[in-house]
């Protein structure tokens, strides 16, 4: 029995598209991406948040808004660091079932990470997802997935554009920079990559 491909939706930031060299992206094209969260806070009252625990959580990835997901799973990789001011941050790879998600964790009000923010623990959270094709390799944490591009939604925010403030759906992304607009990619996951 053939299982249908799982869909995922992620932001394609303007800077990322620039790093890619402004390729002409089309429906049906294959691409390897790192799925990464926005920076999340250890406060469930925030727009993007996370919580860690030692009790098992089933791997889950559920879309709750445009390129926004609720996710849970086991922390597979972790890189913890402190900045010059002593504020702790973490970059984690969480196995969320259909796709691994690299999660960027901000500290608590005391500047420290919640107890248990490391490998083998479990994380749940919610946040916007970004698709990274080109990386600066500032962290070794991550796992790429292979996707087939399916569609593009562009929130037109360019001043003076006749479609200003509206979402426009297309099956391609033209090879031109976008400064103000927001682009969300819909893709179908077909494999994990190294």
Distance CA 49, CA 109 (A): 14
Percent of the chain having pLDDT more than 90?
A: 86
Q: What is the pLDDT of residues 54-96, one digit of tens each?
A: 999 999 999 999 999 999 999 999 999 999 999 999 999 999 9
Answer whether residue 132 shows pLDDT above 50: yes
Arithmetic mean of pLDDT, 118-143: 90
Q: What is the pLDDT of residues 140-192, one digit of tens each?
A: 899 999 999 999 999 999 999 999 999 999 999 999 999 999 999 999 998 66
Answer whether residue 106 shows pLDDT above 90: yes
Q: What's the pLDDT at 2? A: 43
Contacts of residue 174, Cβ cutoff 8 Å, sequence gap at least 6: 24
Distance CA 44, CA 188 (A): 29
User: Kind and range of the H or E element at 78?
Assistant: strand 68-82
Q: What's the pLDDT at 135? A: 82
Residue 130's nearest CA partner among 36, 44, 20, 62 is 36
Answer whether residue 1 shows pLDDT above 70: no
Q: What's the pLDDT at 139? A: 83
Residue 182's nearest CA partner among 131, 127, 126 is 131
Distances, alpha carbon 68 to alpha carbons 98, 103, 137, in Å: 15, 13, 24
- Classify the C-alpha dihedral 109-115-120-123 as positive or negative: negative
Q: What's the pLDDT at 56? A: 96
Q: What's the pLDDT at 5? A: 56
Q: Using CB atoms within 10 A of its CB, is residue 109 exposed (0-12), middle (13-18) or buried (19+)?
A: exposed
Q: What's the pLDDT at 4? A: 54
Q: Is the pTM of this model over 0.85?
A: yes
Would you call 74 helix, strand, or coil by DSSP?
strand
Q: Would you list the domain boundaries of the chain?
A: 6-192
Q: What's the pLDDT at 23? A: 96
């Amino acid at each position: 029995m053939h299982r249908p491909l799982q869909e995922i939706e992620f932001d394609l930031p303007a800077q990322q598209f620039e790093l890619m060299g402004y390729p002409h992206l089309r429906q049906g094209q294959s691409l390897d991406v790192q799925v990464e969260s926005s920076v999340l806070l250890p406060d469930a009252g925030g727009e993007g948040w996370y919580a860690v625990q030692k009790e098992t959580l089933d791997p889950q990835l559920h879309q709750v808004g445009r390129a926004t997901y609720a996710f849970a799973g086991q922390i597979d990789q972790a890189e913890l660091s402190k900045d010059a001011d002593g504020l702790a941050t973490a970059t984690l790879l969480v196995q969320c079932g259909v796709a691994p998600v690299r999660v960027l964790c901000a500290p608590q009000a005391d500047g420290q990470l919640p107890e248990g923010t490391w490998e083998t623990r479990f994380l749940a959270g919610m946040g916007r997802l970004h698709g990274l094709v080109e990386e600066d390799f500032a962290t070794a944490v991550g796992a790429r997935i292979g996707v087939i591009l399916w569609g593009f939604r562009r929130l037109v925010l360019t001043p003076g554009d006749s479609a200003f403030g509206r979402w426009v759906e297309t099956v391609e992304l033209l090879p031109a920079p976008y400064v103000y607009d927001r682009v969300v990619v819909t893709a179908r996951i077909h494999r994990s990559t190294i």
